[in-house]
Amino acid sequence: MISVVSRDESCTARVAAAVAAVVRPRDLIVLAGPMGAGKTAFTRGFAAALGVSRDEDVTSPTFTLVHEYRTGRVPVHHADLYRLRTLGEVADLGLRERADLGAVVIVEWGDVATGVLGDHLRIDIEPDEDDDDTRHLTVSVEGHSWDARWERLRTSVTGAAS
């Protein structure tokens, strides 16, 4: 596990860019944390670091369910599972399949459906109890696809937050 503290939104964006620096096609990233934690803010920094144009509006895909950003160095598919009620509905989005086809998939509220997502990197974003702008970010992994990159990820992420 990698734990860092973010003191403001730009720090969260830097951490997201640090993750993006180590990411590759077929990766799936789960974002967990309450409403307003910064999952979309993280995704914005992540997409920007992958070269997604500012013209592609990175917002929570609440109604369309999945946004696809095509202008970066790798296709980024951004999902938000908040409004989905069953694992069947999540499975229908084909998130693992999208990754397997070569995209990077990033999933807000993905922790509710880890069973149908396969191997993934997970970022937990917890608001601080005392400070409105502070977030506690924890990076963990499910599966083995990050084993060879883990120390590189740690160096990248801890450097970005310091």
Ligand X SMILES: Nc1ncnc2c1ncn2[C@@H]1O[C@H](COP(=O)(O)OP(=O)(O)O)[C@@H](O)[C@H]1O
The residues binding ligand X (CB under 6 A) are 6, 8-9, 11-12, 33, 35-41, 60, 108, 133, 135
Report in angstroms how near the CB of residue 144 gets to Mg ion at its nearest: 29
Write out the residues near Mg ion by the rule CB under 5 A: 39-40, 60, 108
Report in angstroms how near the CB of residue 40 gets to ligand X at its nearest: 3
Nearer to ligand X, 144 or 162 (CB): 162
Q: What sign for the dihedral angle of Cα 6, 10, 15, 16?
A: positive
Partner whose binding site includes residue 9, from Mg ion, ligand X, none (CB under 5 to 8 Å by kind): ligand X
Residues whose CB is less than 8 angstroms from the CB of residue 134 and which lie 6 or more positions away in sequence, other chains included: 5, 6, 7, 127, 128
Partner whose binding site includes residue 33, from Mg ion, ligand X, none (CB under 5 to 8 Å by kind): ligand X
Partner whose binding site includes residue 156, from Mg ion, ligand X, none (CB under 5 to 8 Å by kind): none
Report in angstroms how near the CB of residue 87 gets to Mg ion at its nearest: 20
Residues whose CB is less than 8 angstroms from the CB of residue 119 and which lie 6 or more positions away in sequence, other chains included: 28, 141, 142, 143, 144, 145, 146
Strand partners for 105: 28, 77
Nearer to Mg ion, 37 or 156 (CB): 37
Report in angstroms how near the CB of residue 79 gets to ligand X at its nearest: 12
